[in-house]
Structures are given as structure tokens and as C-alpha cells.
């Protein structure tokens, strides 16, 4: 989760540096997108684990 968010922040920082933005819009935007992708993956994995646990109790 931290790796995906960190990668988004790093790429955003480099884009802001390259385009010489006064406000770090790319850093903010790509950090948010990276965090959203990471949370989606966490929720997806949690649902998968929960489903496998429910199936184990049904048997």
C-alpha cells in the first residue's frame, strides 16, 4: 500500500519539478490516485479472505 502511494507521490513530484509548477498539483493528484488504487486492492483482498473464511465455515 505504501509502495503504490509512494510511487504516485514520487512521479507527481518529478512532474511538478519538470513543469516548474508553483503548486504541487501533480504530486497531490497522483498521491490521491495511488492511495485510491491501494485502498481498492486492500478492500478487494479483504473481501476475498472473508469469502474464503465464510466458505470454510459452510462445510
- Summarised one tens digit per residue, pLDDT across range 2-54 is 999 999 999 999 999 999 999 999 999 999 999 999 999 999 999 998 888 77
Report the distance separating Cα 14 and Cα 53, nearest Å: 43
Residue 59 lies in a domain: no
Domain range holding 7? 2-54
Grade residue 59 by pLDDT with cuts at 50, 70 and 90: low
Residue 48 lies in a domain: yes
Report the distance separating Cα 13 and Cα 8, nearest Å: 9
Strand residue runs (E) in the chain: none
Domains: count for the chain: 1
Residue 20 lies in a domain: yes
Classify burial at 56, counting beta carbons within 10 Å of its beta carbon; exposed 0-12, middle 13-18, buried 19 or more. exposed
pLDDT for position 55? 72
Residue 39 lies in a domain: yes
Amino acid at each position: 500500500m505504501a509502495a503504490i502511494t509512494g510511487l504516485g507521490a514520487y512521479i507527481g513530484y518529478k512532474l511538478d519539478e519538470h513543469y516548474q509548477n508553483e503548486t504541487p498539483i501533480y504530486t497531490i493528484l497522483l498521491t490521491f490516485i495511488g492511495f485510491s488504487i491501494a485502498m481498492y486492492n486492500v478492500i478487494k483482498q479483504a473481501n476475498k479472505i472473508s469469502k474464503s473464511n465464510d466458505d470454510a465455515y459452510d462445510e
